[in-house]
Structure 1
Amino acid sequence: MYHTWMRYFSPRPVHHRLGLVCLGVGLQYGALPTVGPRTLDHHVAVVISAGTGWYRTPDGTTLPVTAPALLWLLPGVPHHYAADPATGWDESFVDFTGSAVAAYTELGYIQPRRPVVPLTDTTAARAAVTRIARAAHHDNPLLEVETSAAVHELLVALRHARADGTTPADPVLRALARDAFLPLSVAQHAARHGMTPAELRDAVRRGAGCGPKDYLLGIRLGRAKELLAATDLPVAAVARRVGYTDPAYFSRLFTRRVGTAPVRYRQRRLRAVPGGWSHHVPDPEHPPVIASRSSA
């Protein structure tokens, strides 16, 4: 016995410009029928929350599947899988496509070479699938946009849940973020962690989908934007605060990455502020909140 529920969608061309579109969603459990061999023209994320089964690769290798786990079904790649007929499994799936798939793949959120990915938990991923399922009624005028947003959320949730020891909270990434504003080279950062530069590059790429330089640059430029927008510090002082001793080099980096020079960025931000201003830059870990007032 098994139980299944699914819906499929046909987004219009304008929705495809959102970057990701949802083509289908399903919730199933029990001793489900064997899938494949078959080939699709889009991506599918199959989330296994309970149970066991198997997945067969195109070369005939059979991989065991034990929940919690994720199956990646890729366009143009034959796949063949099934739940254990004796116990079955609990499965949810989302079909999707779009131009943003390439970026998510480059960043390591989608792993073409890992059709079976162990997970630590499926709660957040199932929540994203549930949002798609709840939006999936034919009279919902926001169907395509809601489900598109939920696919982005699903990919992030699956990245967080990956059981490979390189989550966004990886100790190496945390330490780099903590030390991002020190005027250190990548080699110096690596030495502080007892690693070679190559080992550090590999660790950061696995965890963040980019190299150490890009990871540090993103953090530094984010803080530089805050200082430019919320203080009257000279650009040279901002550069020093975020780890650059050469303000000209900092300005070139900022301009190339942000698309505008630091001074111009500040001018635009100041003009955009509609009211009062504070020169105090809050701790990003403890942002200001609006105090709630109890009614008299």
Structure 2
Amino acid sequence: MYHTWMRYFTPSPVHHRLGLVCLGVGLQHGTLPTVGPRTLDHHVAVVISAGSGWYRTTDGRRTTITAPALIWLTPGTPHHYAADPTTGWDECFVDFTGPATTTYTELGYIEPDRPVVPLADATPARTTVGRIARAARRGNPLLEVETAAAVHELLVTLRRARADTTADGDPLLTALARDAFQPLSVAEHAARHGMTATELRTAVRRAAGCSPKDYLLSLRLGRAKELLAATELPVAAVARRVGYDDPSYFSRLFTRRVGTPPVRFREQQGRTVPGGWSDRVPDPGHPPTITT
């Protein structure tokens, strides 16, 4: 016995230019029928929130699935899976496509080579899928844009929910962020973590979708922008605070990556903050307000 609800959409060519579009959404539970073997021309994220089952690869190997878990179905890849015939499972799924899937795959958010991914918690993903399901009401004029935005959110939510990620994110990235503003080379960062530079590059690329150098650079330039916008520190002092002893090198690097020199950025974005710049993340329920 099983229960199924699903809706499918056909976004226009204009909506495809959003980068991602939602093609369908569904929620099912029970002893569902076996899926496949079959091959699709688009992506599907299947979130298993309760129960167990199996997934069979193209070479015949069978992987046990235990909730919470994610099944990635990718274009052109044959797949074959099913819930346990005795206990069944609880699943929700989202079909999607678009040119942005290439970038999300490069960044490690979509993993074609890892069709079954253990999750720490399926609840946030189910919440996002629920928003897609609510947006799927008949006659919703915002359907395509609402669901497209939610697919972007779903990919981020699933990346954060991976079982190998802590509540604060990937431990290695957290540690690198903590030391990002020290004048250390990639090799020195690797040594701090008992890794070779090659091992560090592999780990950071898998976790962040980029090299350690680019990951550290994004953190340094983000902090440099904050200092340029909110303080009157000389550019040389800003450079030192974000890990660069050579202010000329920092200025060239900033200009090449940001597209404008540090001094020009300050002219455009500068906001002197009399009370000082806060590092505390605002509470969305109680954002900063003007009091009279």
| TM-score of Structure 1 vs Structure 2, range by shorter chain | over 0.9
- Give, as a single letter, the amino acid of the residue that structure 2 aligns with 1:142: L
SS in 2 for 1:37: strand
Check the 8 A contact 1:21/1:151 in 2, yes or no.
yes
Matched residues, number: 289
Alignment of 1:220-231 (within 5 A): 220-231=220-231
Question: Does the CA-based 8 Å contact 1:230-1:280 persist in structure 2?
Answer: no
Look up the equivalent residue of 2:268 and give its one-letter code. Answer: R
Structure 2 partner of 1:290: 288
Cα deviation for residue 167 of structure 1 reads 7.5
What SS does structure 2 have at the residue aligned with 1:32?
A: coil
Moved more, 59-68 or 70-79: 59-68
Match of 1:214 in 2: 214
Partner of 2:185: 185
Cα-to-partner distance string for 1:230-270 (whole Å, 9 max, x where unaligned): 12222222111111111121112112221222122222224
Q: How does 1:1-296 map to 2 (within 5 A)?
A: 1-165=1-165, 169-270=169-270, 277-279=272-274, 281-287=276-282, 289-290=287-288
In the TM superposition, residue 286 of structure 1 has moved relative to its aligned partner by 4.3
Tell me if the contact between 2:22 and 2:147 (Cα under 8 Å) persists in the aligned partners.
Answer: yes
Give distance in 1, aligned partners of 2:177 and 2:290. 32
Structure 2 CA distance, aligned partners of 1:245 and 1:60? 56
Please provide the CA RMSD for this pair. Answer: 2.0
For residues 89-133 of structure 1, what are the alpha-carbon distances to aligned partners after superposition, in whole Å with 9 as ceiling and x for unaligned? 101000001111111111111101011111111010000100000
Provide closer, same or farther for how the CA distance between residues 199 and 62 of structure 1 changes in structure 2, counting only shifts above 3 A.
Answer: same
**Which moves more between the two structures, 90-99 or 205-214?**
205-214
Query: In structure 1, what is the Cα distance between the partners aligned to 2:217 and 2:35?
Result: 45
Q: Per-residue deviation at 1:223?
A: 0.6
Q: 1:176 to 1:243 in 2, by over 3 A?
A: same
1:258–1:8 Cα change, 3 Å: same
Give 5+ residue unaligned stretches, structure 1.
Answer: none
Distance 1:127 1:279 in 2: 41
Give unpaired runs (5+ residues) of structure 2: none
- The question of whether the paired residues in 1 share the 8 Å contact of 2:52 and 2:88 is answered with yes
Counting aligned pairs with the same residue, the percent is 74
Do the aligned residues in 2 keep the contact of 1:160 with 1:168 (CA within 8 Å)? no
TM-score normalised to structure 1 length: 0.92
SS at match of 1:81: strand
Aligned-pair CA distance for 1:285: 3.4
Q: Is the 8 A contact 2:181 2:241 kept in 1?
A: yes
Q: What do residues 17-47 of structure 1 show as CA deviations (whole Å, max 9, x unaligned)? A: 1111111000000011111111111000000
Return the offset for 1:200: 2.1
How far apart in 1 are the matches of 2:111 and 2:205? Answer: 13
Distance in 2 separating the partners of 1:24 and 1:87: 26
The residue matched to 1:53 in structure 2 has which SS?
A: strand
Alpha-carbon distance between aligned partners in 1 of 2:242 and 2:274, rounded to the nearest angstrom? 17
Output the CA distance in 1 between the equivalents of 2:68 and 2:267. Answer: 50
